[in-house]
Amino acid sequence: MKRKLIVTLLSATMAASLLAGCGGGSGSSSEAKSEAPASSAAEASTPAEASTPAEASGAEESAASDAGTAGGGKIGISMPTQSLERWNRDGSYLDEQFKAAGYETVLTYSDNDSGRQVNDIQNMLADNVDLLVVAAIDGEALNTAMDEAAEANVPVIAYDRLIMNDAVSYYVSFDNYTVGKLQGEFVESQLDLANAGDKTYNIEFTAGDPADNNAGYFFNGAVDVLQPYIDAGTLNVVSGQTDFDTVATAQWNTDTALERAQNVLSSYYADGTQLDVWVCSNDSTALGVAQAVTSDYAGDNSVLITGQDGDEANLKNIVDGVQTMTVYKNVSNESIVTLALAQAMLKGETIDESLIPSFGIDCAFDTESYETSEGNKCPSFLLVPSVITKDNLQELVDTGLYTMGDDGYLAAAQ
């Protein structure tokens, strides 16, 4: 998928209504007892109409100013699920960053249930949050909650996954196309495909959740690198399964990826056909594929398996030679950028690339690649991912977010 090119001019002097590039505004602050992080107990329509700066009242301006100072605002943080390691990390880092800056927080996990996430966000709005940070379960299923946020003039930061609603003010993520591109380039380099000559390698693909806007970027980033070699016959997809819908994995579920991988192996590789590469878009799917390869693959060669996220189980597999690489996204840095952006929004500061030096993090301000509806551009802060293999695991330790045991295995730092 070629990335959609969008031309935009961002005039981003933020007023107290917090009108941003994708829409939305600020709500007035209501002081309340801080809520501790908790799991949630217990979505496509016309995009919300954004408020304009002229509609903001003097009282709203004062509230936005108060919310922009440490200790003066409440932030709602909505995460998809606790069943995947990375979202536990994201939620924890965001909660810690905002609390350390003096904000009250409301943190929920919605158990991969979009209806529950709508309800969680509605509860946050009823609790008078000043700003929402939302990692969507389904980017097209939050319209009810997003429309209500716009009506309440509460700005929204789409975190890691884009939300397809114009109430979203900004998008903070990694360069998702580059994540897939790094996976494809790793395969290209490891197999020296450019110099393969008449040699042929067999490859399979496992993509992510169709409801996750990022999944297509990951998949197509890898495919765009590898497609010329498929066309030339250097890479052969034995199963013939190359389109996204066929190789997608609902909710990035490990067991779903495992079951499909077992079916592919039993159907196309049981006769001893050699499998050389399995491109997996993330670590939870790679975990399932690696398990299938370990238990069901008839060949005796090492299969190159890609991933993304740096989950502990996958890092162990990398040490053991079961998985070959992962694309690492430092979600602690993602939370730092999100905090700085939120503070600037709540203070009514100009939002553009001039903010980046204050992050202290390698990041790009992108106004061309993403839109929340046809023609509505969403300014985005995109962090830079990196490739991790067995040879450079120390880089993860150097972040301070992992420790390495005497056995060489990594664990999240306590």
Cβ-contact 183, 327 below 8 angstroms: yes
Q: Mean pLDDT in runs of 10 for the chain (414 residues)?
A: 33 35 38 34 33 36 47 90 92 96 98 97 98 97 98 98 97 96 98 97 98 95 98 98 98 97 98 98 98 97 97 97 97 96 96 95 94 96 97 95 95 86
Q: What's the pLDDT at 400?
A: 92
Residues near 207 by Cβ (< 8 Å), separated by ≥ 6?
Answer: 215, 218, 219, 244, 247, 248, 249, 281, 285
Q: What's the pLDDT at 3?
A: 36
Count of helices and strands (H, E) across the chain: 13, 17
Cα–Cα dist 360/212, whole Å: 28
Tell me the two tokens of residue 86.
Answer: 């990375």
Cβ-contact 35, 104 below 8 angstroms: yes
Continuous H helices in 176-311: 176-190, 213-232, 244-247, 254-268, 283-296
Nearest to 168 by CA among 132, 144, 141, 137: 132
Burial (CB < 10 A; 0-12, 13-18, 19+), residue 56, is buried
Q: What's the pLDDT at 392?
A: 97
Q: What's the pLDDT at 414?
A: 76
